[in-house]
Amino acid sequence: MDAVSTQAPAAVQRTSLVLILAVSASHLINDLMQFLLPALYPLLKDAYGLDYVQIGLITLAQQMTASILQPIVGFYTDLRPKPYALVVSMVFAATGALLLSRADSFGLLVLAAMTGGVGSAIFHPEASRVARLASGGRLGFAQSLFQVGGNLGTSIGPLAAAYFLLPRGQGSVAWFAMVALVALAILAAVGRWYAAHQRALKGQPVVKSVQQILTRRRLVLSFLVIGALLLSKYVYIASITSYYSFYLIEKFGLSAQDSQLYLFLFLGAIAAGTLIGGPVGDRFGRLTVIWGSIVGALPFTLLLPHMNLAGTAIVSVAVGLILSSAFSAIVVYAQELVPGKVGMVAGLVFGFAFGMGAMGAAVIGALADRMGIVYVFNLTAMLPFLGFLTIFLPRARELHPNPKEPA
């Protein structure tokens, strides 16, 4: 099922762990740079007189660029692997940060967002592929470790905003382009390993496709359900990432800097949940994690808008921890539905997730302007109800008639 044997010797397994940690560290830097834009929203809103709709449109520009390009990149590199594409992705991310540091109008902010989105589009499917190749058969663990790097990068974003960006202003974003040089060095080494790995894999036999087991109708239904699950997760997460600071400022009168610390708690919980979810999926099955994650978050999302400040902080941590645990399981599960298309499927999943988050941010911004941000948080609390659609996904016995691992 994977190009790396599950019986690889210990030395190879150690090397594989180094590779996964390398792409995870790069993921941290990539997603930190992607989060610089939403971290600056309170400052940009005041500096340029932006309304919530414009903030949503900036998020839409960043995320839709990534979501549209990711499956295209993944499909292309499935056919023609490009070991050094990850280096190119970081060049775009750094360029986006430099543009953001100098942007002085809504149009230039959109351009900076789109440039960073291109970098994200190239990075995610290729880095996910490398994590899978280096997994040694522990697919959920590898995806979780890869994903948690991105979650850590995102969670550091509010701290960077509170203690560096907001006190020093928009121009300080340029310093983060220097951080990209570290990622460029790491990804150049990963690219060399990937190129050598591809040469070693030439002539390997092709594994039987799961599409020969599932009917086309069943496969389409499965991806529609996965899309609904991603919608429930990422529209809700977009509501927190883009508007939680405004919610806390409006409802509890916090300062912009203090609100970033509460956002850090939520995003840190997402990182922890991501790290936990993959190994649990390897041990107990992907569907078990998906069920528990999305449906399990529902009581907490419904409760969050009705809590005081301390309760909001506690419940938001519970939501982040539970809701995030399913993403690596969803990625691996989707890749098992269409084996041999690792990059394309990863691109579709990441791209759809980003796209749903982007469109959700734009819609939420429009609703917030009309109805208020507190009303929006009550509305999005119901999104995890879509988790019940998991009942329509194929079980392990359908995907693996002779199972060797949980699915």
Whether residue 236 contacts residue 383, with contact meaning beta carbons closer than 8 Å, is answered with yes
In this prediction, residues 96-112 reach a mean pLDDT of: 90
Average pLDDT for residues 259-271, to the nearest whole number? 85
Segment 193-221 mean pLDDT: 68
What is the overall mean pLDDT for the chain? 81
Mean pLDDT of 271-282: 81
Average pLDDT over residues 243-260: 86
Specify whether the CB–CB gap between 373 and 254 falls below 8 A.
no
pTM of the model: 0.67
User: What is the pLDDT, as a whole number, of residue 209?
Assistant: 45
Query: In the structure encoding, which two tokens stand for residue 107, read together?
Result: 């149009």
pLDDT at 205: 54
CA 97 from chain center: how many Å? 19
Each residue's pLDDT tens digit, 153-175: 877 877 787 788 878 888 888 88
Per-residue confidence at 406, pLDDT binned at 50, 70, 90?
Answer: very low
Q: Are 153 and 28 contacting, i.e. CB atoms less than 8 angstroms apart?
A: yes
**97 contact partners, CB below 8 Å, separation of at least 6:** 33, 36, 112, 116, 173, 174, 176, 177, 180
* The pLDDT of residue 373 is above 80: yes
The answer on pLDDT for 364 being more than 80 is yes
Q: Can you read off the two tokens belonging to residue 298? A: 């529902």
In this structure, of 11-15, 66-70, 399-403, the range with the lowest mean pLDDT score is 11-15
| Res 138: pLDDT | 80
Most confident range (mean pLDDT) of 106-115, 167-176, 203-212, 286-295 is 106-115
- Mean pLDDT throughout 261-283? 83
Does residue 203 have a pLDDT over 90?
A: no
Residue 8 predicted with pLDDT over 70: no
Stretch 279-307: mean pLDDT: 85
The residue assigned the tokens 């522990």 is 138
Say whether pLDDT at 259 is over 80: yes
Distance CA 323, CA 319 (A): 6
Could you read off the pLDDT of 73-86 as tens digits, one per residue?
888 888 887 888 89
Query: Which range (20-29, 330-339, 375-384) has the least confidence?
Result: 330-339
Quote the CA–CA distance of 400 and 407 in Å, as a whole number.
Answer: 8
Q: Secondary structure of the chain: what % helix, strand, coil (to 5)?
A: 85, 0, 15
Residue 407 has pLDDT above 60, yes or no: no
Residues 6+ apart with CB under 8 A from 175: 164
pLDDT class of 303 with cuts at 50, 70, 90: very high
Mean pLDDT of 316-328: 87
| Range picked from 186-190, 199-203, 349-353, 373-377 for highest mean pLDDT | 186-190
With a pLDDT cut of 90, the percent of the chain lying above it is 13
Domains and CATH numbers, the chain: 10-202+209-399 (1.20.1250.20)
- 21 or 155, which is more confident? 21
Give the side-chain half-sphere CA count within 13 A for 70: 29
